Amino acid sequence: MDNSYRSKVNRIPARGYYDKETINKIIDEALYCHVSFVHNNQPYIIPTIHARKNDGILFHGAKGSRMLKHIAEGNEVCIAITIIDGLVLARSVFHHSMNYRSVVLFGKGRLIENKVEKLEALRTITEHLIPGRWEDARKPNEKELNATTVVSINIDEASAKIRTGPPIDDEEDYKLSVWAGMIPISQKFDSPENDPRLKEDIPLPDYIGEKII
């Protein structure tokens, strides 16, 4: 991945990371992202689920999706991914912050039309959400495949920005009698709830049980 002015971290550059390992780890951990693009001189930003395959980001959705049409035509997009790890409470309001891991990436898209590649992309997206689900659930039929657009965006440029650690106050504020510290935030899965129409003899799959341990 190359980097230019558009992917360079300018605000607190010490928090910027440009290596593939750091960037890919954040992309893979996040369950969704925001895709921004310009259509007919109007900017849009759309939240959507994603998955990474090598140096590409995969998306899927209805054929009528304006975002997917834009991507399929090979246009530029910008994608933002953020994982919030905690609130950072300083002694002064000015220095309150968050601990986070984020990625901003740029690239051009392409339409995936080959049936085998399309199914593999859908498998990758499904496995990103719940590993093990693709082999368990019914695969898309021809009608569903034809109604679904699948695209891939090559990651041309990307950067990560990460904040960790305690608040950073002005030196004189450390004497204040104000609580300061961090409130961790973590993403977790709660106990699954059965579909009301689930047959009684179907147990919870192991791959779902592992998510809530």
User: Alpha-carbon distance 39 to 59, whole Å?
Assistant: 18
Domains along the chain with CATH numbers:
5-185 (2.30.110.10)
Dihedral over Cα of 186, 187, 188, 190: its sign:
positive
Say what the pTM is: 0.93
Q: Which amino acid is at 7?
A: S
pLDDT of residue 1: 57
pLDDT of 5? 76
Q: For position 2, what pLDDT does the model report?
A: 60
**Amino acid in the structure at residue 29:** E
Cα 104 to Cα 111: distance, rounded to the nearest angstrom:
22
Which helix or strand (DSSP H or E) is residue 1 part of?
none
* Predicted local distance difference test score (pLDDT) of residue 19: 96
Cα–Cα nearest to 88, from 34, 144, 167: 167
Instruction: Please measure the distance between the N-terminal and C-terminal CA atoms of the chain and give it in whole angstroms.
Output: 36
> Token pair for residue 128?
């990103």
The reported pLDDT for the residue numbered 4 is 77
Identify the DSSP state of 137.
S
Distance CA 83, CA 25 (A): 11
The rounded distance, in Å, linking the Cα atoms of 156 and 106 is 6
Q: What is the mean pLDDT of each run of 10 residues along the chain (213 residues)?
A: 79 94 98 95 96 97 95 96 98 98 97 97 97 96 97 97 97 97 94 95 92 71
